Amino acid sequence: MNVPTGPLYVGQALSRVDAGRKVTGAADYAHDRLPEGVGHAVLVGSPVAKGRIVVVDAAAAESVPGVLAVVTHENAPRLNKVERVMDLFAGQSPQENFPPLQGPEVHYAGQVVAMVVAETVEAARFAASRLRIEAETDPGAATDLDTALPRAYDVPQFFGQDTRTRQGDPEAALASALVVVRQTYTTPIEHHAAMELHGAVAAWEGGELTLYEPTQWVGGASRTVAAALGVPAESVRVVNRFLGGGFGGKGMAKMHSVVAAAVARELGRPVKLTLTREQVFPLGGSRPATRQEVALGAERDGRLIAIEHESWSTTSEVDTYLETCGFATRELYACPNVTTAHHAVPVNTGTPCPMRAPGEAPGSFALESALDELAHGLGLDPVELRLRNYADLEPGHGRPWSDKNLKECYARAAQAIGWAKRDPCPRAQRKGRKLVGLGMATAIYPVFQVAAEARARLLADGTAVVSSATADIGTGTYTIMTQIAADRLGLLLDAVRFELGDSDLPRAPAAVGALTANSVGPAVASACDAVRRRLVRLAVGDGASPLANWPEERVVVAAGRVQATDDPARGEAVSAVLRRHGLAHLEEEGRFAPGGWWQTHGLQTWGAQFAEVAVDEDTGEVRLRRVASAFDFGRVLNPKTARNQLVGGILFGIGMALLEEASFDPQSHRPLNAGLGGYLVPVQADVPEVEVIMLDKPDWVASPSLGAKGVGEIGNVGIAAAIANAVFNATGVRVRDLPITPEKLLTGLL
């Protein structure tokens, strides 16, 4: 098979190959582009949350020197409505299928009602401030989930999965259960709050558009923009080589970027649009608010006989997005009677979109909090309760797992945090004036794999360029793909350059759902394997080569040399082979498509989250003291980048548990904290010692090529529940409404 013998880079804790470009400013982000003659665009948002625009007076704005265009619904280019196509390889990905500026109707505060383009951004901002817009307000606006609950509707399927499932007879089982926990848990609207703002730079050349947009999916954005503009898909190129934070918020194409492209076409000059931080909150997407009703029925020994998990989540009036809170509930515990249901609740906000571990993050808060309540009621250790309901086969299907080492995750994380010393009685442990508690929860996230393509080009100088239209959203894709390519080509790491972030490259799926490494990675491996095989055939078929007529199966490529497996001295440099044949390069393409293991096995990643908190009973302040977590996600391709992702996910969970909440004025329904000054996210002072344990056990069923499954999402699953459960252990106060604030705790403590 000519498999390289070394050095092998996959599995090494290597620093990021793109780090130098980032720290020196050489990394080119979408907003860094300044084409010649560019006009600067500024958006104007609706002052009302529901109603219609009745007056647009652009005279004062148009009189500002340097203004190129004032675009409103009265003169905007016509755009097509684009339906979302749930295909992460070849689909379309509008965040909402409601094209801006196509009519006077307003559905949420901050909705785009005008765009001003000028020679400078200062002129555009000043002109936008002089634009007079009057709107009629519809009194039926709502941004609160409970208020809008009567508007709820069912969505039969979301992302190809049934949103309502039923196994056995949960109602009858609950009625007969000796122990029942039935509670409601809520989570608020949360925002991605990425450092890099949303926007786009649109430049036309003839009928060809190049769009520089911060996106996690250049291919999906290209197809979406083309469909909205009504132009051939091949005429739209989307480029984004570096991303300043996405977390799912840049996984779907933004329609304000389409407007920028349409206006640029009409003006005949490039247009650059950068949203303000305040505009990102209504327009950049969010995690929906959720209301979850969970019922657990169990025997006295804690064995579950029934689970009901019903979820309501907010969406916009103009499109449907669903937070699939109950999907993980179907997979996690052995229980004969399970039902899950999901409902969408339209409110007057922008359309939500995926946010790190969509569905699983808020869903695990509800389910794992309910499990903790059950354990406390039964007097059982929370870990023991989960072990008694451990699913050795995939619930509902009876299929074997591709691999599952969750018991080891429980054991190792518990040992790391000192779980054996935990006192199960609330308020039993103190450190000075602080109440101390320990809590835990299970983490689960599905394994996704999607078709992908890659190209490998081995150059005559012995270096290689490997490419795919994927994205590096901070996960280390540049580095991981370089490691895979170097191993498969038998080259040194610095001899390989990986290219991504351009829709003209071989197609790749969206960089979402922790699927990039085990989707694009196998495609990269396939392309590189094909090049290596061609190289070996050239060498053994060349009478001038030291390997002439040598059996192919006894030839390997390693450290930039083609050499005999059992006699490394017999060989030559890769570059020598190509040059002797007069070749500038060898090039092959590789493709990956998921195999039949999806039908024969349950595919999940696993983890155990443990947290220790200290609560000031006088002020209600919660301080996270320690986190210890263990994860089973197959082979660890790079421990350094993997740990970075896991800790990052845990930080998201800390924010969910203790800080993050979008607030709206109850009268105007306008955002109250649309900015980093008011929307709180964890900072260094909020983050304690975090110990991350990675089992590093390859799963060759789920990933036959690499043994890896995916790491970007699971760190965020279960951590909010672990913190909430620790707070209960410390205080005896059960907070079921995130975030856990001092006010909520003091109400219970007093």
Tell me which residue has tokens 């000054």: 677
How far apart CA 99 and CA 52 sit, in angstroms, is 15
**Which pair of structure tokens corresponds to residue 212?**
């520089």
- Integer angstrom CA distances of residue 299 from 198, 381, 383, 387: 51, 15, 17, 15
Strands 338-347 and 165-167: antiparallel
Contact 689, 621 (CB under 8 A): no
Contacts of 365 (CB under 8 A, 6+ apart): 185, 187, 656, 657, 720, 721, 724, 738
Contact 584, 592 (CB under 8 A): no
Contacts of 87 (CB under 8 A, 6+ apart): none
**Which pair of structure tokens corresponds to residue 271?**
């247009």
Coil, helix or strand for 540? helix
Contact 366, 294 (CB under 8 A): yes
Length of the chain measured in residues: 750
| E-state strands within 394-451 | 430-431, 434-446
Residues linked to residue 556 through DSSP beta bridges, in sequence order? 563
How far apart CA 303 and CA 297 sit, in angstroms, is 9
Burial of 278: CB neighbours in 10 Å, binned 0-12, 13-18, 19+: middle
Residues linked to residue 137 through DSSP beta bridges, in sequence order? 51
How far apart CA 120 and CA 201 sit, in angstroms, is 14
How far apart CA 144 and CA 589 sit, in angstroms, is 50
**Which pair of structure tokens corresponds to residue 572?**
């030559």
**Which pair of structure tokens corresponds to residue 102?**
């196509």
Residue 560: how many other CB atoms lie within 10 Å = 17
Q: Is 713 a catalytic residue?
A: yes
Closest CA to 344 of 310, 369, 367: 310
Edge-to-edge, what's the strand order for the sheet holding 132-137?
105-106, 51-57, 132-137
**Which pair of structure tokens corresponds to residue 513?**
């759902």
Cis peptide before 739 (omega within 30 of 0): yes
Coil, helix or strand for 686? helix
How far apart CA 115 and CA 46 sit, in angstroms, is 12
Closest CA to 688 of 610, 634, 748: 610
Catalytic member of 96, 190, 317, 713: 713
**Which pair of structure tokens corresponds to residue 122?**
């200062």
Contact 529, 108 (CB under 8 A): no
What does residue 292 show for φ and ψ, rounded to 5 degrees? -125, 130
Cis peptide before 7 (omega within 30 of 0): yes
Instruction: Show the DSSP H helices in 197-294 as ranges.
Output: 218-229, 255-267, 277-283
Residues linked to residue 203 through DSSP beta bridges, in sequence order? 210
Rg (CA), the chain: 27
Catalytically annotated residues: 713
